[in-house]
Amino acid sequence: MMKPLRGHDRFDYQPITQRVNHRWPGGAGLAVYLGFNIEHFAFGEGLGACIGPVSSQPDVLNYAWREYGNRVGAWRCLDLFESLGLPAGALVNTALYEHCPELVAACVARGDELIGHGYSNAERQGELSEQDERALLSECRSRIQEASGTAPSGWLSPWISESALTPDLLAETGYRYTLNWSHDDQPVQMRTRNGGTLWSVPYPQELNDIPMIMGRQMDAKDFAQMIIDNFDEMLEHSRRQPLVFGVALHAFLVGQPFRLRYLRRAFEHLASHRQDIWLATSGAIARHFAEHVHVA
């Protein structure tokens, strides 16, 4: 007899066809959110997407390319979001408060949600001890509350790196939802060791510029068409059941002018359907689901 495969016990299998039906605010079937990653990387060390072969440190080419996102790209993206009336969830490394606090302040001024995203994207959370991981989660939450006035309710690990205890530690340090898991088109309640409430809100690994543009070397116009096609198809499905449509963006990629031009076309398409959808943030989606479609 074959040994059963190891599982995680965070949630049970449930097909999408067997869910409680409901509608999002305004009677919408599709909730739409933007996950806007603004990140900072250590100079001369650590991890990061690479525009070319990894060089010996200091790797000025790749550091400067990513820094373009904070100096230019993110500001162009925020202008685009504002012009179309699109809310966003800003996934922030707290090192940004030391490096470019003006950028985080601009997100707050727009009313965007701030989501915890580690201290820096130059390290992996899953490699930390339980004590150090708890400290990271607590310190990031406190720093955002102290600097921007509101403690984050959501978290996305840098590089989506988790330990076996990450969901437990998130619930125990005050977070209410995670974006780390990409296993569904609806929020899913996760089990935690002390019974704390933690929701998983769908975060896209396909509608995500890093794996598509960097991993698959997809052209900007194709990535934009992918957003449109995924949106149109999900809008059809959402007439029968509520779904979540997210787009994950990184300022140093889509903030490049030639990519921004195509992203603008994709987002104009989304905005043209605003009467049919709920334009929200991932935090609002988690709150609505917890309040109206609670599943024990």
Residue at token pair 């409901």: 22
Residue with tokens 């029968």: 240
User: In this predicted structure, what is the pLDDT of residue 62?
Assistant: 87
Domain CATH code at residue 288? 3.20.20.370
pLDDT > 90: percent of the chain: 81
Residue 295's pLDDT is what? 53
Q: Is residue 49 part of a domain?
A: no
pLDDT of residue 117: 97
Into how many domains does the chain fold? 1
Please work out, in degrees rounded to the nearest 5, the angle formed at the alpha carbon of residue 145 by the alpha carbons of 143 and 149: 135
State how far the Cα of 47 lies from the Cα of 45, in Å rounded to an integer: 7
Residue 29 lies in a domain: yes
Q: Is residue 198 part of a domain?
A: yes
Residue 73 burial (C-beta neighbours within 10 Å; 0-12, 13-18, 19+) = buried
Do residues 183 and 200 touch, judged by C-beta distance below 8 A?
yes
Please check whether residue 20 lies inside any domain of the structure: no
Residue 50 belongs to some domain of the structure: no
pTM (predicted TM-score): 0.94
The reply to whether 1 falls in a domain is: no
Token representation of residue 200: 């998983």
Residue 6 lies in a domain: no
Q: Are 171 and 191 in contact (CB under 8 A)?
A: no
Domain of residue 250: give its range.
25-42+55-292
User: Residue 296 — pLDDT band, cuts 50, 70, 90?
Assistant: very low
Q: Give the mean pLDDT of 209-226.
A: 92
Per residue in 114-153, pLDDT (tens digit) is: 999 999 988 889 999 999 999 999 999 999 999 999 999 9
- Gyration radius of the chain's alpha carbons: 19
What is the reported pLDDT for 61?
87
